[in-house]
Every structure is written in C-alpha cells, then in structure tokens.
C-alpha cells in the first residue's frame, strides 16, 4: 500500500481532531497516523482498498480515533487512571471494510 495517510486525512483535519492549533507536532502526528493506517489495513485485510476513493468515511473516522489514542497516550504504560474501551469505536467503524471472503483471486472448488 503506497497511499500516503495525508491523502486520506489532511493534516488540518488531524490537527482539528486532536485540538492542536500549531504545526509543531506535525511530524509526530503524521507518524502516529501512518501507524494507524498500517494497523487498520492489516486488520481489514481488504485488497479492494487500493485508491483513496475506496476508503469509506467509517475507515477514516477509525484512523482519527487511533491517531487520537496514540497522540494522547504516548507511553506504553499508564499509571493511576481507569481506562475502558469505547463501545462502537475502532472495531465497529472498520467492520464494514474488513475482508471476510479471502483473497480475491482464489477459486473455490465445488
């Protein structure tokens, strides 16, 4: 996959989602966004996601949630807080983009 994450989600929208007003963290934001895209593509395993037009809004929204998590939680361990996974979040948003059919060019024997 060679689609730059900034072709899917412009940096201005990423900053808006993160509530960041300046461009000082753009390199960090882009790194987290690239990681989110790589993970989401792995999770979906959908060979039909090739061009920017192939990505639905739900996929892009999931990327923003993953980006927000990475930006807010910059350490591997969080101490002194209670955390919980939000229902209907990343997994639910990516569900419609997942490949449940297997590789597209594999013929199934009768």
What rounded mean pLDDT belongs to the chain? 87
Inter-residue contact 32 to 81 (CB < 8 Å): no
User: Residue 65 gets which letter from DSSP?
Assistant: H
Query: Domain-by-domain residue ranges, the chain?
Result: 5-95
DSSP H/E element including 32? helix 26-44
Domain 5-95, CATH among 1.10.3720.10, 1.10.3230.30, 3.40.50.620, 1.10.10.10: 1.10.3230.30
Which among 25, 10, 101 has a CA at the least distance from the CA of 63? 10
Inter-residue contact 88 to 33 (CB < 8 Å): no
Q: How confident is the model at residue 9 (pLDDT cuts 50, 70, 90)?
A: very high
Q: Residue 50 has which token pair? A: 């090739």
**Structure confidence at residue 76 (pLDDT):** 78
Per-residue pLDDT tens digits for 53-96: 999 999 999 999 999 999 988 777 777 777 766 665 888 889 88
The pTM is what? 0.81
**Structure confidence at residue 85 (pLDDT):** 67
How many Cα atoms occupy the beta-carbon half-sphere of 102 within 13 Å? Answer: 4
């Amino acid at each position: 996959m060679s689609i730059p994450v900034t072709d899917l989600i412009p940096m201005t929208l990423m900053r808006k989602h993160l509530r960041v007003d300046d461009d000082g963290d753009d390199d960090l934001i882009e790194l987290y966004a690239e990681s989110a895209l790589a993970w989401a593509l792995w999770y979906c395993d959908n060979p039909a996601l090739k061009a920017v037009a192939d990505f639905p809004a739900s996929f892009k929204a999931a990327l923003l949630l993953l980006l927000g998590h990475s930006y807010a939680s910059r350490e591997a361990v969080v101490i002194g807080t209670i955390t919980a996974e939000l229902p209907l979040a990343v997994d639910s948003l990516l569900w419609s983009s997942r490949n449940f059919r297997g590789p597209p060019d594999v013929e199934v024997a009768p």
